[in-house]
Amino acid sequence: MKKQFIINEKQGSTNIIYLNQPETRNALAMEMRMALLQALEDAEQDDDIKCIILTGSGKGFSAGGDISAMKKEIKPLEGRKRLQESHPLLLKMLSMEKPIIAAVNGAAAGAGFSLTLLSDLIVASDEAFFVQSFVNIGLIPDFAAMHFLPALIGTQRAKELMFLGERVSADDAQRFGIVNRVVSSDQLLPEAIDMAEKLGKKATASMGMTKKIMNEHLNKDLKNLLEMEAQGQDICFQTEDFKEGVQAFFEKREPNFTGK
């Protein structure tokens, strides 16, 4: 049976998109990314859809990149291409004029954390947490986190989260300015749906234009950052630290990094 990486559920004028690989904590495999891009493009073309909610199946939002796919050797330039193939998804989330609400129901780690930052609004369960986990396996933040996180919380705080790779609770994420609202886990989807319905009753044309103008103004250098990010990640994929980080991850131990 073919895997269903994305589940689409329509409720009135709201399109709920579930990342649907709970057995991998909704790791963002390339098939998942392409399926999500297609779901967003379909929602963009559907005049009945006014707002999109992005959430995760199971107990987590997304564990980020698919580390199992990183166990094999990544040759030079492969890592750069790997990130470049994700750029249409990132740019679609930013350019589509319909608002996207991230309903974070558990762990949002690595690229999963970055994915929430590409949304327009974030509602989090009180059981959710966020972690810039890239440094823990010897990689640099990707999915444009180095652009959006400092813009939200300031450079010093962003460096702290990226350098230490520690968990941030939903309450702290709200205090830092990452999350808009924190609710109990049983109220997460109802809260997100209520917010989506309120947005759907607004002047959606002007709201969409507001999003478009704000994003184009604030993200003028984004494409340059994405290329630098792709090149930097490609270099990191070749390091001994990355190989050690991946091995330690699967052996469930602390990595022994050497800076090489």
Tell me how far CA of residue 246 lies from CA of 25, 67, 74, 189, in angstroms: 17, 7, 12, 34
Using CA atoms, how far apart are residues 79 and 182, in angstroms rounded to an integer? 35
* Same domain, yes or no: 195 and 209: no
Secondary structure class of 116 (helix, strand, coil): helix
CATH classification of the domain holding 236: 1.10.12
* Same domain, yes or no: 221 and 97: no
Using CA atoms, how far apart are residues 61 and 124, in angstroms rounded to an integer? 10
* Same domain, yes or no: 116 and 86: yes
Q: What is the pLDDT along the chain (260 residues), one digit of tens a residue?
A: 567 999 999 999 999 999 999 999 999 999 999 999 999 999 999 999 999 999 999 999 999 987 776 666 677 777 788 778 889 999 999 999 999 999 999 999 999 999 999 999 999 999 999 999 999 999 999 999 999 999 999 999 999 999 999 999 999 999 999 999 999 999 999 999 999 999 999 999 999 999 999 998 888 888 899 999 988 988 998 899 988 888 888 888 999 999 88
Does 137 fall in a domain? yes
Boundaries of domain holding 221: 204-251
Structure tokens at 138: 């010897």
CATH classification of the domain holding 44: 3.90.226.10
Number of domains in the chain: 2
| Burial tier of 51 (Cβ tally within 10 Å: 0-12, 13-18, 19+) | buried
Contact residues for 120 (Cβ-Cβ < 8 A; gap 6+):
99, 100, 101, 211
* Same domain, yes or no: 147 and 245: no
Q: For the whole model, what pTM was predicted?
A: 0.93
